[in-house]
Structure 1
Amino acid sequence: MDEMKMDRNASRRARGRPRAWDDKSSQNTIKSLDRAMAVFEHLSTQSGVSLSALSEQLGESTATLYRILFTLETRGLVEFDQAQQLWHIGPGAFIIGARFLRRTSLVERARPVLRKLMEETGETANLGVEKSSNVLFVSQVETHANIRAFFPPGTLSPLHASGIGKALLAFMEEAQCDRILKRSSLERFTEHTLCDPAALKDDLEKIRARGYSIDGEEKNLGMRCIAAPVFDNYGEVVAGLSVSGPTSRVSADKIDALAASVKEAAKALTTALGGEVTQPRT
């Protein structure tokens, strides 16, 4: 009987993680795989990079990098442009990413909300979540206008210089917000970027009070974004919705009207997720 009980316990552990699954020590890390993933992640931030440049950026030998890239290439995760002699992220990465997006109902439920928001405002509608102290854009419905904002799914943007990012920061738990800001460099992208922690915190207070954020050319000159938070059934901010476009169309006199549409869309998505809009903390 005891042996049968031990066998059942072993079987249950084998289905998920081993007994010491919470051990984060190096003995549980496959170093070669970890190195390959570091190369893969770095390459995903580039628009195309040569082997020699990648070697300089990562401090790895070209021989080691080539073996890693060749292995990833066989899986379709990276690809090589023979004409330009540049390495790029491959279609296999998109396929895996798309499978991840299908795992959650957030993107699926957001699509009709984004489409309606774009049609109502005439501007590109975006959905983003927090990922490793950045905004990860996971869905977008583009405007039909010739000049438009473009954040394809998978794009990462710093929280402090993004409408969605600031909406997330403003409504997340204060301790979490402080941790993120403490380890963030608050890089300057334009003369309008909020790089001073005190100025950024002051802006976050204003965002909480009015329920929406404004990226006023803080990442890209000539572009403005208005965003609002989306909450889950625990009242925690899980995403942000935004509209973005050139300042010639998303002008200062249109902010109030656009903000009302964005807030209504964020509220609709919150409801679709079974959530409830959280009252701003004071």
Structure 2
Amino acid sequence: MPPSAERNPTPQGAQAAPAAPGPAASGGVQSLERAFGLLERMADAGGEVGLSELSATSGLPLPTIHRLMRTLVSCGYVRQQPNRRYALGPRLIRLGESAARLLGTWARPSLARLVEETGETANMALLDGDEVVYVAQVPSRHSMRMFTEVGRRVLPHSTGVGKALLSHTPDEQVRALLARTGMPAATEKTITTPEAFLDALAQVRESGYATDDNEQEIGVRCIAVSVPDSPTAAAISISGPAGRVTDAATDKFVPLLHEVAADLAQALARSGEGQ
């Protein structure tokens, strides 16, 4: 959790790869399903892949993949690199930013409930490529509170939400992500080795929640849980001064976080059905 303390209140505005695609669902378009599937596999691989990698993970024949990628390149959603590998294209940014804003809007009532019942700042974050991006926040009403700008991007290894987001990702994928991002220390308590981070993820799976204990900023503690069955990897958290977000407070806050996360998952599902 990467907040900074604010003394004067300010108004606040890896999962396993799916099976090879079969026939399109009733009323669907198979080529669209395949194209979006390839984009998701590119994102899972860090945003850049070769055709042979896509063929191995998708089960599609190379000629089909090549045809779909040519179409995505012509539309600006994929670009071909000088090394002939394919990377996610800049046109996806506008779509992602708009979707993230909507997701943040849908999440605010749930975050407001967390603030009402815990007194601490509540956040929602997504895993976007190798980074954590904050898409919604409702601030605490305390004069000493935590503030994280919506849209801020951070590395996952030093944040509670990052641990929650990666807790069910296979170890080899986590290691690959950490190799790409590095593990810079934000404080003396930041986890800076892959082995220690994987141990922390095992603790998250065992306990059902993640913590950032002075790892992003000294004096700040964060408690986070993943949002179950979210259409994209998402987590919610509460954060505050370590003197308030104590072990005793954690015991009370964790069940509430899980309850709110489950309610939010249902709200997101309803929003998807309405599209």
Bin the TM-score by the shorter chain.
Answer: 0.5 to 0.7
1:197 corresponds to which residue? 194
| SS of structure 2 residue aligned to 1:116 | helix
Measure the CA separation in 1 of the matches of 2:76 and 2:262: 42
The sequence identity of aligned pairs, in percent, is 33
1:146 matched to 2:202: no
2:236 corresponds to which residue? 241
Normalised by the length of structure 1, the TM-score is 0.61
1:6 corresponds to which residue? none
Deviation at 1:114, TM superposition (A): 0.6
Structure of higher CA gyration radius? 1
Stretches of structure 2 that go unaligned for 5 or more consecutive residues are 1-70, 271-275
Given residue 18 of structure 1, which amino acid in structure 2 is its aligned partner?
Answer: S
| SS of structure 2 residue aligned to 1:128 | strand
Distance 1:99-1:219 versus aligned 2 partners, 3 A rule: closer
| SS of structure 1 residue aligned to 2:251 | helix
| SS of structure 2 residue aligned to 1:231 | coil
Measure the CA separation in 1 of the matches of 2:133 and 2:257: 19
2:81 corresponds to which residue? 25
2:224 corresponds to which residue? 227
Deviation at 1:106, TM superposition (A): 2.4
Given residue 256 of structure 1, which amino acid in structure 2 is its aligned partner?
Answer: D
2:269 to 265, 268, 274: 274
Aligned-residue CA RMSD (Å): 3.3
Does structure 2 conserve the Cα–Cα contact (< 8 Å) formed by 1:213 and 1:227? yes
Q: 1:33-44, aligned counterparts within 5 Å?
A: none
Question: Which structure exhibits the higher relative contact order, with contacts defined as CA atoms closer than 8 Å and separated by 6 or more residues?
Answer: 2
Given residue 144 of structure 1, which amino acid in structure 2 is its aligned partner?
Answer: R
261-270 or 217-226: bigger deviation: 261-270
Measure the CA separation in 1 of the matches of 2:76 and 2:111: 43
Distance 1:271-1:132 versus aligned 2 partners, 3 A rule: same
The count of corresponding residues between Structure 1 and Structure 2 is 196
1:216 corresponds to which residue? 213
Does structure 2 conserve the Cα–Cα contact (< 8 Å) formed by 1:171 and 1:229? no
Does structure 1 conserve the Cα–Cα contact (< 8 Å) formed by 2:73 and 2:80? no
1:251 matched to 2:264: no
Distance 1:20-1:216 versus aligned 2 partners, 3 A rule: closer
Normalised by the length of structure 2, the TM-score is 0.62
